[in-house]
Amino acid sequence: MSENVSGKRYILALDQGTTSSRAILFDEAAQAVGLAQLPFEQRYPKPGYVEHDAMEIWETQREAMRQCLQSAGVRPDQIEAIGITNQRETTVIWERDTGKPIAPAIVWQCRRTAARCDELVQDGWAEKIRDKTGLVVDAYFSATKAEWMLNRSPELRERAAQGELLFGTVDSWLLFQLSGKRLHVTDVTNASRTMLFNIHTLDWDDELLELFGIPRAMLPDVRPSSALYGETDAAVFGARVPLAGIAGDQQAALFGQGCFQPGMAKNTYGTGCFLLMNTGDRPIASTHGLLTTVGWQIGDEVTYALEGSVFIAGAGVQWLRDELGLIQDAAETETLAYSVPDANGVYLVPAFTGLGAPYWDPYARGTIWGLTRGANRAHIARASLEAIAYQTRDVLDAMEIDSGMALQRLLVDGGAVQNKFLLEFQAGVLGIPVVRPEQFESTARGAAFLAGLSVGFWPNLEHLTKLIGTAATVFAPQMEESQREELYQGWKRAAHLSRGWLQES
């Protein structure tokens, strides 16, 4: 990065993801002018269990901030505001006084509370929870994770009731640390992913708190996504800087893509795959396995969204690399996919932690169907990319039915959008154009936008729309309708055959 001109002002976005902590610096033109990224350990103590060390999350995030500013030649006092975007649902419980976690963070992917979710459904809670929260009953969300952590001893629950222990998603955890242990705050988007928050009243729901045994005393205050929450502690950050924007990673990407109008949608291809559609100022209840969630809140105005969550997208490619050793680098899948005319009838269903929307089957497991003697690693690599596209179509079909809105194009972001084959196949299997913006950093940019709006760094949404611009690569569908449907029907059969594996074993 070039040496900074003294006096220029910036917005710093903290993008705390599932596998790495990132810090991205944005200038007034919304261009990324500094970036640092640090990975951290993924822990799998038992099959289906996924954990993080919350202190390692904070330490890597703090170091990423330091490296980002240093590489750009920017001082902490030149930061106008900080915005946070984060892996959602991941649950941290920590001591108010010491700031130390009581246990490892339970990650959104973790399935340890699947049986508890089955109990809730059997006891008739599914409809009530959906009506209040917009969510399906699933181990994906925070409520059963926090309940599990508190259930480890009566003493923990008593301390929580006294307010000695604090619960939060990763945004709350970072805000607490950044503020020198002064702030315990979240925003409506993260709150809406806990299965404890009523998306109609915009408050924690007392009936659900009682159901899960979560004392209100341990919960963060819920604020809009663009608001002045407080300031960084100068000893922590090097200056007192406004903490002014928060959104869960997928809502931040929706905002960062400029999906400000109802009917606009984006898909983020990361570890998982997350498709969100702006539905305006009203929550739309899904009858096809989608989630109704808060998109963002600015002032008193709340924007809602429909969401479909695919648990395994890029993580499926990582599996080919790290566990099977079929590739050395994720980028190899593009070359391998192009080296064969088709997948040779092979379908890979990456249900390593169950299937997300619209199936919501925690007992599905990963499978490869259609193998013959002629199947090789190129076919399997291609099938892993095709699986991402098929799962996206699963979600989009459900979304169009629920919303009554036909999508004209799909905006995309995330690490995997650099894979040209994936986007060409995605356009083909959807039958609509797929649009990749010039800047891939939609998630971090969304957090920066929310923070910048609250401190007047940027004036309004119209200004942000101009900053996003129109520079993009468009992938038009090239597939015949008959081929599209034949391939997709094969996928649906493969997905069906992968379901209920654990129950049937």
pLDDT in tens, 123-173: 999 999 999 999 999 998 999 999 999 998 889 999 999 999 999 999 999
Q: Is the pLDDT of residue 1 over 60?
A: no
For residues 60 and 20, is the Cβ–Cβ distance under 8 A? yes
- Whether cis (ω within 30° of 0) applies to the bond prior to 358 is yes
CATH homologous superfamily, domain 258-437+470-504: ATPase, nucleotide binding domain (3.30.420.40)
Which residues are 187's β-sheet partners?
Answer: 223
Binding site residue list for ATP: 18-20, 271, 314, 318, 415
The pLDDT confidence band at residue 6, using thresholds 50, 70 and 90, is low
What percentage of the chain carries pLDDT values higher than 70? 98
Q: What is the rounded average pLDDT for all residues in the chain? A: 93
Binding site residue list: 18-20, 22, 88-89, 140, 249-250, 271, 314, 318, 415, 419
Q: Describe the crossing of helices 126-133 and 114-122 by its angle, rounded to 10 degrees.
A: 100
Indicate if 258-437+470-504 has the same CATH topology as 10-239. yes
Binding site residue list for ADP: 18, 22, 271, 314, 415, 419
CATH code linked to domain 10-239: 3.30.420.40
pLDDT tens-place string over residues 395-439: 999 999 998 888 888 999 888 899 999 999 999 999 999 999 877
- 328/325 Cα distance (integer angstroms): 7
Phi then psi for residue 262, to 5 deg, are -55, 140
- 284/293 Cα distance (integer angstroms): 9
pTM over 0.85: yes
- 108/89 Cα distance (integer angstroms): 5
- 268/272 Cα distance (integer angstroms): 8
| Domain ranges (residues) in the chain | 10-239, 258-437+470-504
- Mean pLDDT within 46-64: 95
- 356/353 Cα distance (integer angstroms): 9
- 125/248 Cα distance (integer angstroms): 26
- Mean pLDDT within 463-471: 85
The pLDDT confidence band at residue 7, using thresholds 50, 70 and 90, is confident
